[in-house]
Structure formats: C-alpha cells, structure tokens
Amino acid sequence: GAVVSQHPSWVICKSGTSVKIECRSLDFQATTMFWYRQFPKQSLMLMATSNEGSKATYEQGVEKDKFLINHASLTLSTLTVTSAHPEDSSFYICSARDVGAQTQYFGPGTRLLVL
C-alpha cells in the first residue's frame, strides 16, 4: 500500500519551455500532497503544500507564478514549471499523505534538465 507515482521520471527541455509533472497516489486518497526540490548533495526543500480543491501554499522564496500547482482530485496533483531556465534543473519529488494520517509517502521523483 501507499504507492505514489510520478510522471515523467526524466525531462530534458529547452530554456523557456514549460514542463508539467504529475503526482498520483495509486492506492489511497491524498487530501494533501507536497512538492519538494532537491539539488545535488543537498537535502529536500519543500516548495509547496497542495490541498485538494484549494490553492497551494508556497514556501517562502518559491515563486507561485513560476511553479503552478493544481490538485484537482484526491489522487492527482500536478506541478508545472513555467518558462523553465537552466537554474530550474533539479530533482523534483512529490509526496502524498493519506486522509487523517501524518506519514508522507514519496513518489520516485522527476529529474528535470533545462538546456
């Protein structure tokens, strides 16, 4: 149980394009999903908290107009990196939390490389 998937696992794109990453909870309903970013040899940094049916809460320093988050259902959240630039290249990881639970389960991550 508690499986979270992400798609795609790898993205290479040109500077200026937008990239959408999907995060799905496969065997449970996730009222809350979280988006993290991890640069090489650094820890996970929370970008935003996504609640189903409402606007995401962004962490300080994260541009909400650049990182668009949509959580339209209890099993799906999407992160769109708009007008991506090389400095956005990173490992993006989502996690999901079951209704009433405290434990977060992570997706496998998406590696983004912006050329």
Chain residues binding other proteins by CB under 8 A are: 32, 34, 42-44, 46, 49, 91, 93, 102-109
Our CB check for other proteins shows the closer of 16 and 108 to be 108
The dihedrals phi and psi of 66, each to the nearest 5 degrees, come to -95, -35
3-state DSSP: the chain helix, strand, coil percent, rounded to 5? Answer: 5, 55, 45
Give the shortest CB-16-to-other proteins separation in angstroms. 27
54 contacts: CB under 8 Å, gap ≥ 6: 71
Give the residue among 80, 77, 90, 84 at the shortest CA–CA distance from 34. 77
Give the shortest CB-34-to-other proteins separation in angstroms. 7
Our CB check for other proteins shows the closer of 28 and 106 to be 106
Distance, CA of 13 to CA of 95 (rounded, Å)? 24
Our CB check for other proteins shows the closer of 46 and 74 to be 46
Give the shortest CB-85-to-other proteins separation in angstroms. 23
Our CB check for other proteins shows the closer of 82 and 101 to be 101
The token pair at 60 is 């300080």
Give the shortest CB-6-to-other proteins separation in angstroms. 8
